[in-house]
Structure 1
Amino acid sequence: MGVGIALLGLLVSIAWHELGHLVPAKKFGVTVTQYMIGFGPTLYSRVRRGTEYGLKAVPLGGYIRMLGMYPAESQLPMATAGRRDPLRVAGPRRWMREIAAEAREYSASEVSPRHRAHTFSALPPGKRIVVMLGGPLANLVLAFVLLAVAYCAIGAPTTSTTIAGVAECVSASGAECTDQDAPSPAEQAGIEPGDTIVAWNGTEIEEWAELQTLIREGGDAPAVVTVDRDGGRVDLTVAPVVVERPVEGGGTAHVAVVGINPVLVLERMGPGELLTTFGDGLGRTFGMIVTLPAQLIDLVGSLVSGGERSDGVIGLVGVGRIAGEATSTDNAFGVTGSVLVLLELIAALNMALFAFNLIPLLPLDGGHLAGALWEMARRRIARWRGRPDPGPINTARALPLTLAVSALFVLLVVVLVIADLVQPVSLTGG
């Protein structure tokens, strides 16, 4: 069921993204001939008001088809016609110009005289920016709404100051207890599951993090811990032990340990905390995009060498696996916890769609945005300098690069699928 929900979430996210392009495009009068979810053979379609709406067999993306994505030859300045003529150059440059010329011709062949004013390339740069930015922004809004439902309506998992369990011992290696290991400080002190810690050495405790800080700062010095047990306060004396434990980032450190773990609760966030959490998640997503090449190199290296896969980018197979685990693995909150994980997962997917589509390379939305921004800047500079309007950007020139980028995207998908099958990512880390 989790895999099915993840797939449905992916399809809804893609459909919502394309709707973000479709609505402003139609609002600005652009002729949109297709609105498709997926690629490959068409499974279902219906024509309404001149637009074919449909679902295709491979749900790995979607698109809307707007007339005149590339400017026609008649829209480009005559003064630069020589720079577009394939016959004036040779070798790879001729091949690239031929591809661009063919793309412009094909784009123009789809446009009838009555549609010439209703093409994407006929829009001013500002409106083109709105159309292309609409898709990523739609994903960003959906991600925020999903996290608002998850964290404000359901709640975020938070450690309480109530004791869930008391360790039998605290072994130096962190392994399972043996007969030779002494009882844990918590067990010796008489701390019991269900106790709520209210003070440590006289300092009132409201959050688990405060307790961790006090234990760490106190070292192995005995301390008086005050617990709420059955409605009454009980003072107990506990003597933490200092052991060596691994630390985040590598290495080990000597830390004070008592041998207790907290009860997890769902705590609803306020608007301010939600915005902070959302901003942090968005920042991590952009960081993931920036480091994507390095992550892929590490991933390929781990596949070749058979080494351990590091935390980082995962593919759709991995997303499906995590979604499946979320609905089949027991957790502290039951069905509510599974729903929470699925909402977080689909929200993270929409954040990734937002950030990934802003990469300034065609065929991504960011490539069209970069072209429109450059055209807007070029026109303003020409106006400031009193020169003629330079006309639209010849985006068809970027087609060879577009083909190369598309090939890299296909390679990326293949590598991630192989990695998710050979070295699967798990919620439990196994």
Structure 2
Amino acid sequence: MAAYLLGVVLFFLGIAVTIALHEWGHFITARIFGMKVRRFFIGFGPTVFAKRRGETVYGLKAIPVGGFCDIAGMTAQDELDPEDLPRAMYLKPWWQRIIVLSGGVIMNLIVGFLVLYGVAVSSGIPNPDVDTTATVDTVQCVPETQISATELSSCVGSGPAGDAGIEHGDKILAVNGQEMASFTAIRDAILELPGETATLTIEREGTLFDVDLQVASVTRLASDGSEITVGAVGMSSLPPTDVYKKYGPIEGVGATARFTGDMISATWDGLKAFPAKIPGVVASIFGAERDVESPMSVVGASRIGGEFVERSMWDMFMMMLASLNFFLALFNLVPLPPLDGGHIAVVIYEKIRDFFRKLRGKPAGGPADYTKLMPVTVAVAALLMTVGGLVIVADVVNPIRLFG
């Protein structure tokens, strides 16, 4: 229990540091371009601590699940002291504004990469070059019937695969000329061929050849308990080796970059699927089974972090923290206010608008009026808070359980 609680606390702190670094990305780029940062706070709600250093007030608020970097003149509607006007963000070149608005995203990508690099050189990351070709482990007889969910009838012999001469270590590339990407795909193909002859393309010690075997016709129990007739050949798969690989300091850079790209792609796919998973989250609050791939809040993520530490799975702990950084980066690029992507979209809109105004011989149109975006900003903020609240409730009453 102590290890679990330690993991929960550490992951929560990791989230807080991630948020702080995101805001620091905005802070440091704003300072580089001469903008004035008035406040730099971690968290929301009542102020716990605040101290002015130079021109910036630094502080911590009671709920450390967010943060903000208050840059003077972020919009033309901000109230400004006259002496701060020359340093107002909205008066800076468009490319500087985009860099500052992207600073948090860039920082999260850098942090995620560095975390993965640390894992790659210490314990290892998934090997992108691992051979996942379907490989035979054992061949055995095929029971004719299924008695219960956990029991099959007895059998003798070597089974269709063994009779056909298939051996341990054989790689199965195709079934009836159809390429197979995994052992699961082979199983599914064989299930559809009861009593038929199947041609398997085999690779053995670098030599390719075809093997014809008679698929056994057997009965198995469907999910509803009824008997169905399927095909079986009697062989098991050999798990791939070197699934995880530890890298040296130099080669680890390229391997980490490659794995980072894979994780960002997976995170993007998850972000696109996010809206469709919300109904399932709501249903789980009322007792429905919780999808292990459903969205998690700070509460749920910290709990999973605790489970990883409890089992000394520090590499998984760190990879989940990296994944969080990538999610935060991509989520903030969504082009809706009040997210960073929404502000970036406004800057791009201004640039495109002024381009066409110039073509018509007109002067630049000036800063965008953010008051017109206020209804969208309020609606998006309300939606994010509502969804966030629902996910937190689900993580409390029906949390995701990776280990039962």
For residues 289-326 of structure 1, give each alpha carbon's deviation from its aligned partner in whole angstroms, at most 9, with x where no partner exists. Answer: 2332222133324445x332333322222211211111
Residue in 2 that maps onto 1:293:
275
Q: Is residue 372 of structure 2 the alignment partner of residue 390 of structure 1?
A: no
Amino acid at match of 1:112: D
- Counterpart of 2:289 in structure 1 is 308
Distance in 2, Cα, partners of 1:253 & 1:375: 63
- Determine which of 297, 321, 329 is the counterpart of 1:346: 321
1:268 alignment counterpart: 246
The 1:127/1:30 distance shift into structure 2, 3 A limit, reads same
Measure the CA separation in 1 of the matches of 2:394 and 2:140.
37
8 Å CA contact 1:241–1:258 kept in 2: the answer is no
8 Å CA contact retained: 1:140, 1:350:
yes
| Cα separation, partners in 2 of 1:376 and 1:45, compared to 1, 3 Å | same
Deviation, 1:240, is 10
Is 2:393 the partner of 1:413? no
Distance across 2 between alignment mates of 1:252 and 1:129: 62
In the alignment, structure 1 segments of 5+ residues that lack a partner are 72-103, 190-195, 202-208, 226-238, 330-334
Deviation at 1:13, TM superposition (A): 0.8
Amino acid at match of 2:279: I
Aligned to 1:156: 126
Q: Quickly say closer, same or farther: Cα 1:199–1:264, change in 2 above 3 A.
A: closer
Deviating beyond 6 angstroms after TM superposition, the runs of 4 or more aligned structure 1 residues are 157-171, 183-186, 209-221, 239-243
Aligned positions of 1:21-40 closer than 5 A: 21-40=26-45
Q: Secondary structure at the match of 2:90?
A: coil
Count of residues in correspondence between the two structures:
359
Q: Contact 1:132–1:369 at 8 Å: present in 2 too?
A: yes
Letter in 1 for 2:235: V
1:142 is displaced (CA, Å) by: 1.5
Mind listing any 5+ residue stretches in structure 2 that lack a counterpart? 1-5, 173-180, 203-213
Change (3 A) 1:121 1:213: closer
| TM-score of the superposed pair, with normalisation by structure 2 | 0.73
Shift of 1:212: 7.6
C-alpha distance in structure 2 between counterparts of 1:307 and 1:379, whole Å: 52
Q: Secondary structure at the match of 1:360?
A: coil
How much has 1:345 moved relative to structure 2? 0.6
Stretch moving more, 357-366 or 258-267: 258-267
1:48 pairs with 2:53: yes
Alpha-carbon distance between aligned partners in 1 of 2:90 and 2:233, rounded to the nearest angstrom: 66
CA RMSD of aligned residues (A): 4.3
Q: Does 1:65 align with 2:70?
A: yes
Calculate the TM-score normalised by the size of structure 1: 0.69
Aligned to 1:193: none
The 2-side partners of 1:174 and 1:122 are apart by 73
Residue 165 to residue 197, structure 1, CA distance change in 2 (3 Å)? closer
- Give secondary structure in 2 for the equivalent of 1:290: helix
Q: Distance in 1 between matches of 2:136 and 2:370?
A: 62
Instruction: Kindly indicate which of the two structures has a greater share of residues assigned to helix.
Output: 1
**1:135 maps onto 2:104 in alignment:** yes
Per the alignment, do residues 48 and 199 of structure 1 end up closer, same or farther by CA in structure 2, a change over 3 Å counting?
A: same
Q: CA deviation at 1:14?
A: 0.6
